[in-house]
Chain A
Amino acid sequence: DADVTQTPRNRITKTGKRIMLECSQTKGHDRMYWYRQDPGLGLRLIYYSFDVKDINKGEISDGYSVSRQAQAKFSLSLESAIPNQTALYFCATSPGLAPDTQYFGPGTRLTVL
């Protein structure tokens, strides 16, 4: 079984709809992250959480919100989706100890029409 899972794997939605992407992990890591990937831009950090009570904005947090329901669960919400949020979204975890390698989920491909 995968250590970091994401649901759904693919989603097509319409402008203005609320969308939630979910991430679960069995690695026992405290730190969790949400990234988006756009062609030619690599990965950009949306939000990150170092423990259940800790939520931090990344470089592109506008239009997104997150919830850390438990150590193992970290959800990303788009309150009102817009077409330029069409992207591949990754959840990642890391242990918090050097080198703090990040391990990624399989990704969610989101299309906003």
Chain B
Amino acid sequence: AQKITQTQPGMFVQEKEAVTLDCTYDTSDPSYGLFWYKQPSSGEMIFLIYQGSYDQQNATEGRYSLNFQKARKSANLVISASQLGDSAMYFCAMRLLGWAGGFKTIFGAGTRLFVKA
């Protein structure tokens, strides 16, 4: 069964330090995409970064990078040089990209990140 697991309900990090948010996934489909979204206290869902199942290199977007380990089925989000504005809920999601997968998107339960000054 397709599933996303985020094992860290809450994380603390000191401002300016790096932090890794864990995400593991489970699917037998060969074609999928992995996404991270940020949800600040205001409630909106902000797309951060994407990694395709066939991508050879880890995705990066500014201070965000995705540590993709396909054999381990993990897609951890790394935030470098944390800022106070990074305090938010972070969701990992998997999108099945083929018709067989029904184009479903499965979300994890989220990790709440607190950045300390």
Binding site for B on A (CB under 8 A): 40-45, 50, 88, 90, 92, 98-107, 109
Contact = CB atoms under 8 A, between A and B. Distances in A.
B44 A104 contact: yes
B97 A100 contact: yes
A105 B39 CA distance: 12
Interface in B39-67: 42-47, 50, 52
A109 B50 contact: no
Nearest to B96: A100
Interface residues of B, number: 23
B106 to A, nearest CB: 8
The 5 closest A-B pairs by CB, nearest first: A42-B107, A104-B45, A99-B33, A43-B107, A107-B43
B110 A42 contact: yes
A99 B50 contact: yes
17 contacts: A40-B109, A43-B45, A43-B107, A45-B105, A50-B103, A90-B45, A92-B45, A99-B52, A100-B103, A101-B33, A101-B35, A101-B47, A102-B35, A104-B37, A104-B44, A105-B44, A106-B42
A101 B45 CA distance: 12
Interface in B1-50: 4, 33, 35, 37, 42-47, 50
B95 to A, nearest CB: 6
Contacts of B104: 45
Contacts of A88: 43
Contacts of B37: 104
A107 B52 contact: no
Contacts of B50: 99, 101
